[in-house]
Structure 1
Amino acid sequence: MKHRKVLALTAALAGFALVATGCSSGSNGGSGGGSDDSGKKTLPTSAQINEQPVSDLQDGGTLRLPISQWITQWNYNQVDGALVDASTIEQATMPFIYVIDGKGAPQLDTDYVSKAEATSDDPLTIEYEINPKAKWNDGSPITWKDFENEWKALNGSNQDYLVGSTTGYEDIASVTKGSSDQDVKVVFDKPFSDWKSLFSPLYPASQTGTPEQFNEAYKGKVPLSSGPYKVSKLDETAGTVTIVPDENWWGEKPKLDQVIFRSLDGNADVDAYLNKEIDSVLTTTSERFDRVKDAKDSKIYASTSAQYTHVDFSSKGILKDKQLRLAIQHAVNREALAQVIGGTLPYKLGTLDNHIFLSTDDGYQANTDPNGTFDVEKAKKILDDDGWKTDGQYRKKGGETLSLSITIPSGATASQKLSEVMQQQLKDVGIELKLKSVAVDDFFEQYVTPGNYDMTIFVWGGTGFHSGGASIYQTGDTGQNYGRIGDESIDKLIAQAIAEPDTDKANAIWNKVDTQVWAIGHSMPITAKPALVAQNPKLANYGAFAGAQNIDWTKVGFTK
């Protein structure tokens, strides 16, 4: 699946994950299922979004929501653009050909495409019929040229397009016009089982038709959009993004007058919520949850999210040595890290032992043995065999002290706590870990994306398709593998999984991928995060969404 970057663990801990397949449809239920022996609840797998019929909502109103950082790139497909906060807003302002429902399944959005079907299996051919009403908000129609342009930008043939992922697009042989400008014929040169993941979001050819346009046209601005809302104001000084109903929208009209997204660092969003300055806030750490759980005029919603927290390694510095990465995987007690994240939350958080699947996914299995198990003695032996000998508090080799750093954004209190725990765990095997705090707005662009770190912590957000996350583990200098750690055997397995139409067979291959990812010391998943949301009780059809479920912005509003 595609994955979206989430700001490293601010106190509003978000996480990386795959869509939680098997989620049930959205509900308006209570806070969860049964309890385990510790008295903690198990998370519900259905959405809790105060689901209400649109007829029961007010006309108008201003919804105020937090975002975790200022968004500089509004082209989601550009390497700096795949942020969860940006995607949340883009779901209201850009075309998504398929959206993920509350059960984790893709559904065609007929506001944009009236029909999409595979008309041939050999070669795989998909034909799209664009809704004749579909248009960009300057009045120009959405046509096959927009599909063709997106394919050309994202297929990897021109490295000047700085793309987040080429998965799927690189398997397309041609995108051509059908019987009219609203008919699109996509022919693949090899099978791609997740074809429903493509062209979402879709961008206009008029704005992204050259590498310069692709990389720059949506940087700090949104020149053209298509959705129930449009971006009316980007105020970097105030840190606010304002969207308002788009008068050119042809579908169901949205209920709100405007939505204002406000960039708030650290715990500032909780402060703002308690001061009634925003209407909803993510509360996925015990520190934050404890502050809001008894707030007046507030309700807590819970579900299983499509995000997980992980530790990422980079091969640019000392961790280019695979043996060091493997030693760290054995030295770090991920169970202890999960408990740090879970703290006193009323929900139990276990470790996530798979890079590809969440524990709620049908294909999930633990693949940590033999390379991802917590085993201090094994970590020490790997370091000994690698020439790092005990010499005082920290190991040395050739006069060099075994010292590395973990890069986190300033104000990310949960990231700092996790880093401090790992600092002690690594010290126990003779590795020095230094904490490096950097500016929040520089974290991805200057450090994560170029791989300028030894270790770091951030969160991935899934969009419902396994294949879109493939570039996280593939070799090469582009895509989402920021640490540049991979090997050709993984590349080959990923190609097999992507081309396999049988789900059970594909899941088996994906688990082989995961086993190899552990074996090369690529990264360490910690735990999938719950979606725990405190919000204004009058806010409807918004809250704790299940898995990678998309927001239907035409239904979000306040009850009468």
Structure 2
Amino acid sequence: MSQHGVGPRAVSRSVAFLLTAGVLAVPALAGCGSEDPAGKPLVGQDIQPVARDRITDGGTLRWAVDSVPDTLNTFQSDADATTTRVAQAVLPSMFRMNADGRPERNPAYLESAEVVETEPKQVVLYKLDQQAVWSDGREIGAADFAAQWRALSGKDTAYWTARNAGYDRIQKIERGDNALEVRVTFSRPYADWRSLFSPLYPKDVMGTPDSFNDGARKKLKVTAGPFTVKKLNRKDEQITLTRNPRWWGRPAKLSEIVLRTVPRDKRAAELAAGTIDLAEIAPSEARRITVAARPRGSSSPVMGPEADKKPRKAAAKHARQQQALRGFEVRKSLEPAFTQLALNGAEGPLADERVRRAVARALDRKELAKAVLKPLGLPAVPVGSHLALSGQAAYADNSGALGGQDTKEAQALLADAGWVRGGPIKEQKKKGEKAAGAEGEKAGRSSEDKARNDDGEDIVGSDDKDQQDGKAHREKDPAHLAQDGKQYKQPHQGGAPGAYAPMGTAAPAGREAAPLAKNGKPLTLRFVLPSGAGSQTLRTVADRISRMLERVGIGTEISKVSDESYFKDHIASGQYDLALYSWPASAFPATDARPVYAKPVPAADGSLNVEQNYTRVGTDQVDQLFDQAVATLDEGESRSLIRKADSRIWAAAGSIPLFQRPQLIAARKNLVNAGAFGLGTPVYEDMGFLKKGAKPVSGPSGASSPSGA
């Protein structure tokens, strides 16, 4: 994932949260009534679903990816999204996600899987499909399950594993009554047992530390999916998957899938050149494809006045590309991931819970979701949970534990924390800063006017450098306030006679939004953002957040850093006050989300172990609720505990979920059962190209393209 959708799996966090009696009201938890608070996904899959009998037998799908992975072992720390994509196509998964983002038994591998004993120990019995075999002809069985358990249990440090959650709770694995049965006995109850053995690697990979650490990095000799790995070519930056001749399920319709590295900014050109068939794209590319599909003669910002300004050769090239793009469409959904505002509670003003909560109460999350999603024709609904997305079993909107946008409440919280409006500031204003502040005001107003476009045009992706730089100057000078296009200097002690307006003169508009100060320092937060071309949306959202915070007296200092250093050198290391990044949603939050919100603990070397909680805000109570949820085999009770944990995470205000990430996929029009998969796992054997003369059937969200993307 990019920083807009960061999905790292390992590192740190800290800061305690104080739950003061009478201050935070955790609402009655959803789930007690008859209506399921989980609801449905905000938007369904958009994959052009077609029955298999209307799909051509054969063909090669050329699929753009961000990179060829360093490893094909998903359990290693440097595995990435392409590692997962390959594993889904070539390896067994006992459970996969349905369109609602909930785990369901994979019938290609399992006849059944259920808890058959709870006392004295939890026992899960897997009954495998009798035809399930590895590509070398060996039956899939208990030996493979046992090898994976030993490798991932954490007991043997020679295995370079990135995670062992769940596997460390297994006591033993043995064969059942026959070779098709696998009995897994747990030493401690484990609610998320369905998360295990997906994917399942053969014992050839998991059997020894050497084979685990190195054997699956560049190749997978033995697989058991509809496809197998034919070749990983790092020089050409592509992986070729081909039909598995020993696959016992529904035969794959495609002969090959080629996953090829294509930079995001090159994908529109590659699509137009006909070298790729499927690619995740940015809103600007989605708009180009939408415009290309319109009837000829209709004017647009891409083909019309703008094209007339291009040099003749460039205009001709652009026109050819637009013609070629008519063979594609944009399929859209929402990713199984959400973008959040992270507040670093380790030190500085945000170490105070009241200031974090004030930041949260200053935000209009509906406006932020609308700015990103409405122009794409997607539901502009803020995310209400840290631990699940709408449609997933554990979802409930628990944001009421913190409360919605409320300027007066935000200001009251800041006043209670000792931040005084118009207080003295010790720092001396640097020479030339006044002029810079004026420049910033002009740029800031221009940016604000653009962001207020009701149609959403030019909001997502706007990233004018001059505007951003000007705003940064304005924010760095807390002695100035931009309001209605004018510059107002703060009053100060010892002014010359006549320096103040006569008694009764109305205060300048916006005086209430003057910066706050405490102990001689202004309340200014460092807002760290990535500077890459693919992060315009993040910077636009950050600009809106900065204006919202300015209204309650909180200043922001924008700091744009390289994409390469954004996460490692700033988020993971805690070098920020505010930041925007995303987390993937999980169907197993008790397992997967715990390290993201766990309370930091001192390590043996004196440092702080923050696991993956990069906001460094955690509580003992949240940790206890996670521990209870993962050890409760009653699914309803486990969900209730997860929702309670989420309410308390909201109350701590270490991270504020904003919106589910948009998923925009350019797909060749005759490519079916592929595209924007939403919360579901792709079904690789059903992907293919439509037979000539066959007509597709629109899916839940159709195959429409975004307008104004």
Q: TM-score, normalised by structure 2?
A: 0.65
Q: What one-letter code is carried by the residue in structure 2 that aligns with 1:558?
A: F
Q: Are the equivalent residues in 2 in contact too, given 1:193–1:498 (CA < 8 A)?
A: yes
What residue number does 1:143 align with? 141
Alignment of 1:377-388 (within 5 A): 377-386=408-417
Q: Is the 8 A contact 2:93 2:197 kept in 1?
A: yes
Distance 2:598 2:287 in 1: 40
Query: Partners in 2 of 1:387 and 1:205 — Cα distance?
Result: 61
* Mapped pair 1:465 → 2:592: no
2:346 corresponds to 1:312:
no
Change (3 A) 1:439 1:300: closer
Per-residue displacement from partner, 1:470-498 (whole Å, max 9, x unpaired)? 32223464764344432221111112223
Assess if the C-alpha contact under 8 Å between 1:93 and 1:231 holds in 2: yes
Give how far 1:538 is off: 0.9
**Residue number in structure 2 paired with 1:99:** 96
- 8 Å contact kept, 1:245–1:258: yes
- Residue 382 and residue 77 in structure 1: after superposition, are their counterparts in 2 closer, same or farther (change >3 A)? farther
- Contact 1:100–1:463 under 8 Å retained in 2: no
Q: Which runs of 5+ in 1 are unaligned?
A: 1-5, 15-19, 25-42
Q: Deviations over 1:56-87 (max 9, x none)?
A: 22232221222234533433233443x44432
1:422-461 per-residue CA deviation (whole Å, 9 max, x = no partner) reads: 3444445333333333235x66566656666554433333
Partner of 2:23: none
Deviates more, 1:136-145 or 1:289-298: 136-145
What SS does the aligned partner of 1:312 have?
strand
What is the letter of the counterpart of residue 86 of structure 2?
A: I
In structure 2, distance between residues paired with 1:483 and 1:246: 45
One of 72, 78, 83 as aligned partner of 2:70: 72
Q: Within 2, Cα distance between the matches of 1:177 and 1:451?
A: 47
- State the partner residue of 1:202: 200
Q: Does 1:368 align with 2:368?
A: no
Question: Does 2:234 correspond to 1:112?
Answer: no
Among the aligned pairs, what percent are the same residue? Answer: 26
1:227-266 CA-to-partner distances (Å, cap 9, x unmatched) read: 2223333344544333222344343332223222233444
Q: Which has the larger radius of gyration?
A: 2
> SS at 1:293's partner residue?
helix
After superposition, the Cα gap between the structure-2 partners of 1:356 and 1:403, relative to the gap in structure 1 and judged at 3 Å, is closer
1:537 match: 669
> Where do residues 32-71 of structure 1 align in structure 2 (5 Å cutoff)?
44-45=43-44, 47-71=45-69
Decide whether the 8 Å contact of 1:408 with 1:443 is kept in 2. Answer: yes
Cα deviation, residue 514, structure 1? 0.9
SS at match of 1:9: helix
Q: In structure 1, how many angstroms separate the alpha carbons of the residues matched to 2:265 and 2:39?
A: 33
Question: Aligned residue for 1:406?
Answer: 528
Taking a change above 3 Å as real, the CA distance of residues 317 and 138 of structure 1, as seen in their structure-2 partners, is farther
**Pair 1:299-2:291 in alignment:** no
Gaps of 5+ in 2: 8-36, 294-325, 426-477, 480-514, 601-608, 692-709
Give the corresponding residue for 1:17. none
Shift in CA distance, 145/203, structure 1 to aligned 2, threshold 3 Å = same
What SS does the aligned partner of 2:50 have?
A: coil
1:263 is matched with: 261
Change in Cα spacing, 1:107 to 1:364, as seen in structure 2 (3 Å) is closer
Q: Does 1:509 align with 2:506?
A: no
The structure that is helix-richer by fraction is 2
TM-score by length of 1: 0.80
Task: Tell whether 2:563 aligns with 1:439.
Answer: yes
Distance 1:457 1:73 in 2: 28
The match for 1:228 among 210, 226, 231 is 226
- Aligned counterparts, 1:271-282, within 5 A: 271-282=269-280
> For residue 465 of structure 1, what is the amino acid of its counterpart?
F
Contact 2:343 2:356 in 1 (8 A): yes
Q: Distance in 2 between matches of 1:409 and 1:230?
A: 38
Contact 1:408 1:456 in 2 (8 A): no
What amino acid maps onto 2:336 in structure 1?
A
1:89 aligns with 86
- 1:121 aligned residue (118, 121, 132): 118
Give the RMSD, CA atoms, in angstroms: 3.7
Cα distance, 1:146 vs structure 2: 2.8
Specify the code of the residue in structure 2 equivalent to 1:356. Answer: L
Q: Aligned to 1:507, what secondary structure does the other structure show? A: helix
Q: Contact 1:22 / 1:104 at 8 angstroms: preserved in 2?
A: no
Q: Give the counterpart letter for 1:415 in structure 2.
A: L
Over residues 387-413 of structure 1, what are the superposed CA-to-partner deviations in whole Å (9 max), with x where a residue is unaligned? 566533466666766442424362222
Tell me if the contact between 2:419 and 2:516 (Cα under 8 Å) persists in the aligned partners.
yes
2:650 matches 1:518: yes
Moved more, 517-526 or 232-241: 232-241
Could you give the per-residue CA deviations for residues 288-314 of structure 1, whole angstroms, max 9, x where no partner exists? 432222432233444454332223345
2:303 counterpart residue number:
none
Residue correspondence of structure 1 range 285-296 to structure 2 within 5 A: 285=283, 287-294=284-291, 295=293, 296=326
